[in-house]
Structure 1
Amino acid sequence: MHTSAPPANPLRFKSPARLVAEAGHDRQGHGLKRTMGLFQLICFGVGAIVGTGIFVGLSDSVAQAGPAVVVSFILAALTCVLTAFSFAELGGAIPVAGSSYSFAYAGLGEGAAFLVGWCLLLEYGVSVAAVAVGWSQYVNELLHSLTGHQLPHVLSAGPADGGAVNLPAVLVIALACVLLVRGVRESARATAAMALLKLVILLLFCAIGFSAFRAGNLLPFAPDGLGGIGAGTTAAFFSYIGFDAITTAGEEARDPRRSIPIAILVCIGLVTVLYCAVAVAATGAVGGDRVGGRPAALSYVVNEVTGSAVGGGIIAFGAVVAIASVVLAVLYGQSRILMSMSRDGLVPGVFARVSPRTSTPVAGTLIIGVVFAVPAAFCSLDAVVGLCTIGTLATMAAVNAALMVLRRREPDLPRTFRVPLYPVLPLLGIGCCVYLMYETGWAAWAQFAAFLAAGCALYATYGRRRSRLS
């Protein structure tokens, strides 16, 4: 009598050597191509990070912290830097497409890895949808500066915002999917070009903002005290989401063990300096009270300083390019994570199929694009931004924990980069993540508990029974 194999043990783990050995090809033998160099990885990281968080979310952070938003950006960056060290070590030691999911599989076991992948689906899904909605705002700003007209509200906002469907948000996701399925070389070139352009635009904004800088505009510096700075830090953290996407290029980078750690640390340092400069320039030019809560705040600041809509139009154009590159980079990362989970049997096999013509997971990318386009088109995402933040922080805490476990379990694992001051920095990283998770509030915690419960049920009924780990 035939009996099925017992379900997999959720505590068993996959060794780093096996993760690396199994990477690179689907079950038909079609594989990814190593075409990305260090410069492209850095541009990819900048492309994944710099977008809606600074072009749209700055006003939310300023509304919480006032001019002290610069402190909030530094504190949020500190949390990311502490975890970025762990990503750098693990990304160099385990250069595979699964990123945090694969690191958790090696260090914390299959059950934890599935929940990390589940949280990454939330992180990338909500962030892509939110970024696409922000792109729609700046498309309208750009059209207004060029023609004096905007898209009809019914076609540029979802029902929750008084419209019917957000067509620009759907369009930017569709364009990103088309570019991604054409091949990683084309995607990397487009991302590099867009990353350089948005850096130039933000530096131009800083030059304009600092030309009108008045120290008095920074007072009161922290109108709501430490509580406002803490709330601003949680809001500012959303601006850094995406740096971990660099590690999803582990199977398409030419020298991943060397280039991934360098790319992660360079990106975090560069973005932090840029964010702080933009925050000081914006609040110093017109005052925190006029920046906080204002849509398309950067264009507003430039228009106020120059007395013309031309400068704001240039900033709006930069935002359109910047935000599009985030959609491209995050969709790329999500498709690679699901591809890794599919190889392990934890999600359907369609996500692991690699096209022999383009060497990309075409079917998986298109499915992800359709799924993420629905909330972008119809939903208001304000209510789930806190949930996205808490899920991202939980994933980052898991990466720090996985690093510490692997230091003990795999002391001889080849590491091209090692976290300094170990174990102090990983422990601080976990502590900072837990603090910011607490700051998201009880509503986000309730949403997160329900989301984790759904993930546990999905693993128990599907992933655990179909796991290929023997």
Structure 2
Amino acid sequence: MDEKKLGLGNVVSISVGLVVATSCLVSLGNGAGTLGSTFIFAMFIAMLLNITTVASLSELNALMPNTTGGLAQYTLAALGPFPTLISMVGGYLICNTMSCGVEASIFSFSLADVIGPGIPSFAYTVIMTVIILLANLRGVDMFAKIQDIVAFLLVGSLVAMGFIGMIGIGTGVKIQQPYVLNADFKDVAAMTAVAFWLFIGAEYAIPVSKQVKNAKRNVPLGMMIGLFLIFIMQSVMIFGFHNYVEWGALADSAAPHLVYGYAVLGKAGKIWMMLVGAMAVISTQNSTVNSLAVICQGMAKMNMLPKIFAKTNRHNVPWFGQVFVSALILIFGYFSDSSADMISFLILVGSVFWMISYILAHIDLLIFRKRLPKAPRNFKVPCGPLFPIIGIVGTAYMILNISSDPHEKFMIWLVTGVCFIVLGIYSALWIRFKMKMKIFKSIPLDKVLAMENDLYYYVRKSKGIWK
């Protein structure tokens, strides 16, 4: 009998390590550069809304504890294949490759800034992406052994640099500037959409729940503590920003962590932040190429994507999925290359995709509460439907106020709207003619669980249901 070895501290560290990334620092710099220290209030609101999401996902996991695809299975059982396919392709594939492309762009800009001119920054993105792809195609999980160490170095470095800046003991020159640039509540509330990016991903700790002692308490509590610790860490960074970097310089930078590192500790601080950020980006991209290819392979086995995504090479690696994901990363990396405005724009577009998937999680929970009120759950969100409804309303508000710039807001809605229209047409046609299912008919829980078995695909194919 396997012992459950993970405790509350492990869940907290996993949540924090999965959430914190260099792209978060762009959002942090953008928000602080726009509002000043009052951006902390926007962060607090975003943190609370994300806490409602991890609570809803924890109850869904308690209801369907043996699923590996998470939101895909929850939505399939609650709403049917159409919203499932859209949320998986949009919320997972597009959003993750977009954020990873942005991360790669930040890495390339940071490296080019430290090394100096001569090589185009995008060249570093191409080199890194090709190396990671070739290694993964051979079945080598790069940095699998040190990903926890990388996450620790990144979080530890941000805490240390933030604390040094906050108490003013850096070697750089302290500056004088106001703490507050804008205290209008409407503007602060509108910036919650920017702050939202600082907290997404804590729910990725849910799959380890089977290895956690007292998972009923430790998994949701660990994720919530992790979100609170991230809030504290980022707040400390903002006070450090105030002492050493002009607010406007943060908002205009494609790599604010380099600007801050140089301002606090000179060239040594800049190199320090570049190296830690680079390791984190490489680790993140490696995980993305690996995990998304496997997710696409599973969706292909469920006949939700073309069969080529399920094919493996001689190293038993889903090669097409890895090539496809790497290509998308390069595309997004190219469009965001060295441009602070484009990086911020793509982060906000990615946020909309992620927010919609979070809204679906809340809706799934409310449906299961109505449909299966007495089904056993080892965790249940308190206060009935209150917190899921708050999560839906708050997240919808962030989508409607995704940017304070009307033109940028329109462009974000336009890009996401076009993507969803294309995904909707693809999903409707694919489900109707390839999966042979009703697009909005929910799938029974036992059938959803059966779909995880490879035999499900082969049985339906042998009977001529799937082609």
Task: Give the drift of 1:288.
Answer: 2.8
Q: Tell me what 1:305 maps to.
A: 264
Question: Which of 153, 158, 161 is residue 205 of structure 1 equivalent to?
Answer: 161
Provide the C-alpha distance between the structure 1 equivalents of 2:374 and 2:310, rounded to a whole number of angstroms.
30
Task: Give the drift of 1:127.
Answer: 0.8
Task: Give the drift of 1:187.
Answer: 5.5
Contact 1:103/1:402, CA 8 A, preserved across alignment: yes
Question: Which of 129, 133, 137 is residue 109 of structure 2 equivalent to?
Answer: 137
One-letter amino acid of the counterpart of residue 348, structure 1: P
Provide the C-alpha distance between the structure 2 equivalents of 1:253 and 1:138, rounded to a whole number of angstroms.
39
One-letter amino acid of the counterpart of residue 131, structure 1: E
Q: Tell me what 1:376 maps to.
A: 333
Moved more, 104-113 or 170-179: 170-179
Residue correspondence of structure 1 range 17-416 to structure 2 within 5 A: 43-94=13-64, 95-120=66-91, 121-141=93-113, 144=114, 149-152=115-118, 155-156=120-121, 166-177=122-133, 188-212=144-168, 219-223=178-182, 225-247=184-206, 249=207, 254=211, 258=215, 261=220, 264-306=223-265, 308-353=266-311, 361-378=318-335, 381-382=342-343, 383-416=345-378
Contact 1:344/1:468, CA 8 A, preserved across alignment: no
Task: Give the drift of 1:432.
Answer: 0.9
Contact 1:282/1:298, CA 8 A, preserved across alignment: no
Aligned residues: 417
Structure 1 residues 96 and 263: CA distance shift in structure 2, 3 A: farther
Provide the C-alpha distance between the structure 1 equivalents of 2:202 and 2:291, rounded to a whole number of angstroms.
10
What is the aligned-residue identity percentage?
17
One-letter amino acid of the counterpart of residue 65, structure 1: L
Contact 1:291/1:297, CA 8 A, preserved across alignment: yes
Q: What residue ranges of structure 1 are gaps of 5+ in the alignment? A: 1-33, 157-165
Output one character per residue of 1:356-375: Cα deviation in whole Å (capped at 9) or x when no partner: 966x6454233322332233
Provide the C-alpha distance between the structure 1 equivalents of 2:361 and 2:83, rounded to a whole number of angstroms.
11
**Structure 1 residue 460 and structure 2 residue 422: aligned?**
no
Contact 2:100/2:285, CA 8 A, preserved across alignment: yes
Provide the C-alpha distance between the structure 2 equivalents of 1:223 and 1:62, rounded to a whole number of angstroms.
10
Output one character per residue of 1:147-193: Cα deviation in whole Å (capped at 9) or x when no partner: xx42535x21xxxxxxxxx1222334345445656769875433212
Contact 2:258/2:273, CA 8 A, preserved across alignment: yes
Task: Give the drift of 1:421.
Answer: 2.4
Normalised TM-score (structure 1): 0.77
Structure 1 residues 320 and 260: CA distance shift in structure 2, 3 A: same
Moved more, 211-220 or 120-129: 211-220
Contact 1:64/1:229, CA 8 A, preserved across alignment: no
Provide the C-alpha distance between the structure 2 equivalents of 1:290 and 1:405, rounded to a whole number of angstroms.
46
Provide the C-alpha distance between the structure 2 equivalents of 1:356 and 1:422, rounded to a whole number of angstroms.
51
Contact 1:245/1:333, CA 8 A, preserved across alignment: no
Contact 2:129/2:330, CA 8 A, preserved across alignment: yes
Moved more, 361-370 or 73-82: 361-370
Tell me the SS of whatever aligns to 2:303: coil
Output one character per residue of 1:257-307: Cα deviation in whole Å (capped at 9) or x when no partner: 93754553343233222222222222244453443323432332333334x
Q: Tell me what 2:394 maps to.
A: 432
Structure 1 residues 295 and 112: CA distance shift in structure 2, 3 A: closer
Provide the C-alpha distance between the structure 1 equivalents of 2:141 and 2:282, rounded to a whole number of angstroms.
17
Q: Tell me what 1:29 maps to.
A: none
Q: Tell me what 1:163 maps to.
A: none
Structure 1 residues 235 and 96: CA distance shift in structure 2, 3 A: same
Provide the C-alpha distance between the structure 2 equivalents of 1:253 and 1:175, rounded to a whole number of angstroms.
33
Tell me the SS of whatever aligns to 1:56: helix
Contact 2:166/2:236, CA 8 A, preserved across alignment: no
Provide the C-alpha distance between the structure 1 equivalents of 2:49 and 2:386, rounded to a whole number of angstroms.
13
